[in-house]
Amino acid sequence: MRNIDVNATIDNASFTPFHWKVLFWCSLIIIFDGYDLVIYGVVLPLLMDQWALNPYVAGLLGSSALFGMMFGAMGFGMLSDRLGRKKTILICVVLFSLTTCINGLVTNPWQFGILRFIAGLGIGGVMPNVVSLMSEYSPKRSRSTLVALMFSGYAVGGMMSAGLGIWIVPNYGWQIMFYLAIVPMLLLPLMIKYLPESVAFLMAQDRKEEARALLQKVDPDQQITRQDKLVVPPANVQKAPVLELFRGGRKLSTLMFWTAFFCCLLMVYALGSWLPKLMSAAGYNLGSSLMFLMVLNIGAIVGAVGGGWLADRFSLRSVLVSFFLLASASLVSLGYPHPMWLLYSLMAVAGATTIGSQILLYAYVAQFYPANIRSTALGWASGIGRNGAIVGPMLGGTLLALALPHQMNFLALAVPGAIATVAIALVGRRSARLEASQAGQETRVAANG
């Protein structure tokens, strides 16, 4: 009889076919999630014409799914503690798949907005649970890379949405794009069969035989028997108060993180919702406008994976500052006429440095704060950022309603990138000075002693 540490077994495991299975299913779910989220930007130009929407109403419709995402992330995050990660993920998949499919049948903006809100509940609920499941099963040495690869599924889904839209929307109408969202429902039996439950949840529910079977797949060489006792180290369940984020010289850094999250998600969702319409307004046909959205998401995949690779070799702060600078510069440049190859290149850079920065910001917050307040820091930074995601589509609608020159629209979208650049550059300054001051005092005390 052995005592087997569950966490240590997962942390030190080699990469096995079981890990590939978890990565595949979590990434696939995120791809469907990304498809459903980007679909509004694909169909927006036709919806505005068909329903005679003014830009303000169109912006509100775009934000309806994002409001749902905010409530879904909070509500389904708590529900997963009772039902488990797997059941909660499956419920969310059913929710966003069915409601998005039904959205193809609506006849007015009110019906559309309500269904998009409900779909947003599922889209928002999937993310924290899929990220948690992927993180839990990833070996420690490759955890960040695997989560980044999985996160890139959002960009893959967005790319699929834009790519299919180029062919489907002009030929068959916008409704088909929503009908295609039924695919996750068709795959639901396979998800039920192959998506594993969280080991931590199984242990908490005293379902140790199931946990033992999963651990054997995680580490086949360990030969776990029924006589072995599974042990989970006690966790500190006491949540740190939010005020701890402002202590120890972290006040300025916390405010700057919140600012960067807000600005980054504002850019990401403003571009995702309004890019095709902005390019159509500038004189590009619908096919070319949707191709810009596709290139944006291709760039996002490169930014997500490449940004993680760069962050492992340089400091996260320097990579993020560089990304935000490039994001602002590329967005400003997109407002001016260029050859098509250069426009596509600038769009790819914008995708890499806005959506890629979103992923790197999560990693930076996780590394910056002590373990006892890390989840609090991530939760609050993500919550503040979600407000930026809601504001983004509204900002795009306002810019279009103002009928500004094309270059002014992209200049306005570049401003949040410039603000985020300054914010990240200031992260850690106060705490670094505080540590230097304390070190100097200790040196003087030692010298006088």
Same structural domain, 231 and 304: no
Same structural domain for residues 157 and 226?
yes
Least confident of 5-14, 404-413, 438-447: 438-447
Longest Cα–Cα distance of the chain, Å, equals: 83
- Is residue 375 over pLDDT 70? no
Question: Which residues touch 131 (CB under 8 Å, ≥6 apart)?
Answer: 147, 150, 151
168 and 242 fall within a common domain: no
Pair 166, 155 in one domain: yes
Residue 248 has pLDDT above 90, yes or no: no
Average pLDDT value over all residues in the chain: 81
Task: Give per-residue pLDDT as tens, 41-60.
Answer: 788 778 888 888 887 788 78
Q: Do 251 and 176 lie in a common domain?
A: no
For residues 19-24, give the mean pLDDT. 89
Which pLDDT does position 237 carry in this prediction?
44
Tell me the pLDDT tens digit for each residue of 165-210: 888 888 888 889 899 989 999 999 999 999 998 887 887 788 878 8
pLDDT at position 424: 94
Cβ within 8 Å of residue 323, ≥6 positions away: 303, 307, 352, 353, 356, 357, 360
Residue 430: predicted pLDDT? 61
Domain end, chosen from 236, 251, 270, is at 236
Residues 170 and 146 in one domain: yes
d(CA 332, CA 414): 6
Closest CA to 146 of 20, 245, 299: 20
pLDDT of residue 77: 67
- Asked if 184 and 223 sit in the same domain, the reply is yes
| CA separation for the pair 366, 362 (Å, rounded) | 6
Nearest CA among 172, 64, 158, 176 for reference residue 120: 64
Give me the pLDDT at residue 93, please.
92
How high is the pLDDT of residue 443? 47
Other residues' Cβ atoms within 10 Å of the Cβ of residue 393: 27
pLDDT at 371: 59
Q: How far is CA 206 from CA 10, 209, 448, in A?
A: 19, 9, 59
- Please tell me the predicted confidence (pLDDT) of residue 442: 47
Last residue of a domain, one of 181, 212, 236: 236
The average pLDDT across 387-414 equals 82
pLDDT at 102 over 90: yes
At 439 the pLDDT is 45
**Residue 118: closest CA among 99, 93, 94:** 99
Name the percent of the chain lying above pLDDT 70: 89
* pLDDT of the residue at 445: 45
Look at residue 329 and tell me whether its pLDDT is greater than 90.
Answer: yes
Name the helix (H) or strand (E) containing 330.
helix 316-334
Share of the chain above pLDDT 90, in %: 16
The reply to whether 210 and 70 lie within a common domain is yes
pLDDT of residue 252: 92
Same-domain check for residues 356 and 257: yes
| pLDDT score of 313 | 76
Q: Where is average pLDDT lowest: 90-99, 252-261, 295-304? A: 295-304
Angstrom distance (rounded) from CA 146 to CA 138: 7
Q: Is the pLDDT score of 121 beyond 70?
A: yes
pLDDT value at residue 147: 75
User: What 3-state class would DSSP assign to 369?
Assistant: coil
Supply the CATH number for residue 336's domain.
1.20.1250.20
Q: Tell me if 89 sits within 8 A of 130, measured CB to CB.
A: yes
Mean pLDDT of 102-106: 91
Top-ranked range on mean pLDDT: pick from 245-249, 337-341, 348-352 = 348-352
Query: Among 86-95, 371-380, 387-396, which is the least confidently predicted range?
Result: 371-380
242 shares a domain with 230: no
d(CA 99, CA 403): 33
Domain closes at, from 236, 259, 282: 236
Residue 345 in contact with residue 302, Cβ under 8 Å?
no
pLDDT band at residue 449 using 50, 70 and 90 as cut-offs: low
First CA to last CA across the chain, in angstroms?
55
Looking at the 3D structure of the chain, how many domains does it have? 2
Interval 268-310: pLDDT, tens? 888 877 777 777 777 777 666 778 877 888 888 888 778 877 8
Host domain of residue 429:
237-448
Q: Do residues 175 and 253 both lie within one domain?
A: no
Candidate from 26-30, 225-229, 369-373, 435-439 with smallest mean pLDDT = 435-439
Q: Which residues of 159-175 are buried (b: 16+ CB within 10 A; e: fewer)?
A: bbbbbbbbebbeeeebe
pLDDT at 448 over 70: no
Q: Closest by alpha carbon to 360, among 272, 420, 412, 432?
A: 420
307 with 432, same domain? Answer: yes
Strand partners for 5: 231
> Is residue 420's pLDDT more than 90?
yes
Q: With cut-offs at 50, 70 and 90, classify the pLDDT of residue 404.
A: confident
> How much helix, strand and coil, in percent to the nearest 5, is found in the chain?
85, 0, 15
CB 395 within 8 A of CB 75: no
